[in-house]
Amino acid sequence: METRLELDVLIYPDEVRVATPEDLREWELETASQVSIPTVRLFVALYPYNPAAMSPNYETAAEELPFVPGQIIKVFGDTDADGFYHGESGGLSGYVPSNMVAEIPVDDEYLKHLLMQQGFLPVENTGMCLTPDLSDVASITDDVVVRRMVALFDYDPWENSPNMDSEAELGFRSGDIIYVLGDMDQDGFFFGDLHGQRGLVPSNYLQALPWD
């Protein structure tokens, strides 16, 4: 009975030798490092999209992703020749028409994770405000420390506040960016700024973020 022995060999200009386990591990690591990983970005849906009724590509409509306004979509890579991204949302994956969505310009990986957990962003009929504007805090004096924080949970002062004077507090939603002004008070509240509106915000609902 004939027995065959298969070996991995390395071929060099001046020698040929049997590859060792260490050689194979190095080759696998080098190959893995050369594999291109698609860029992952977050987009928000601007309009409702039902592929079965709205797709310009009737034959491939089943491969497209349906969504509603405000839905957050994880997008991989760039658009194809037809102007579609490939994306994921709500446990589904498929092609996404680029003219129906807008990119959320966020680089912080932790904030991306929070937004994906949230799943939606509020989209107003008059437009969107997806990133905070530093001009909102331009009137603050130079001696006040300003910190950038993200809301971890929804907060409704009327329902969640432990204080009687809840009208002095800011309401916010998970994923909102809040600029905290100064230090925390004795009750565990910061004074914060959210899109130009200011009030007290509970410190245990917030997570500090680095400045970009």
CATH number at residue 195: 2.30.30.40
Q: Which of 85, 120, 81, 112 has the alpha carbon at shortest distance from 99?
A: 85
103 and 152 assigned to the same domain: no
Q: Which of 109, 15, 125, 33 has the alpha carbon at shortest distance from 70?
A: 125
Lowest mean per-residue pLDDT among 52-61, 126-135, 158-167, 177-186? 126-135
109 and 158 assigned to the same domain: no
153 lies in which domain range?
146-208
Confidence of residue 195 (pLDDT cuts 50, 70, 90): confident
- Residue at 33 is within a domain: no
Rounded CA separation 27/80 (Å): 32
Confidence of residue 94 (pLDDT cuts 50, 70, 90): very high
45 and 114 assigned to the same domain: yes
Q: What is residue 166's three-state secondary structure?
A: helix
CA 76 to chain centre: 12
- Residue at 25 is within a domain: no
Beta bridge partners, 35, equal none
What is the model's pLDDT at position 133? 43
74 and 111 assigned to the same domain: yes
**How many domains, in total, are found in the chain?**
2
Tell the burial category of 54 from Cβ atoms under 10 Å away from its Cβ (0-12, 13-18, 19+): middle
Q: Where would I find the beta strands (DSSP E) of 119-205?
A: 146-151, 177-181, 189-194, 197-202
Percentage of residues in the chain with pLDDT exceeding 90?
17
Residue 85 has pLDDT above 50, yes or no: yes
Q: Which of 212, 211, 177 has the alpha carbon at shortest distance from 201?
A: 177
Tell the burial category of 73 from Cβ atoms under 10 Å away from its Cβ (0-12, 13-18, 19+): buried
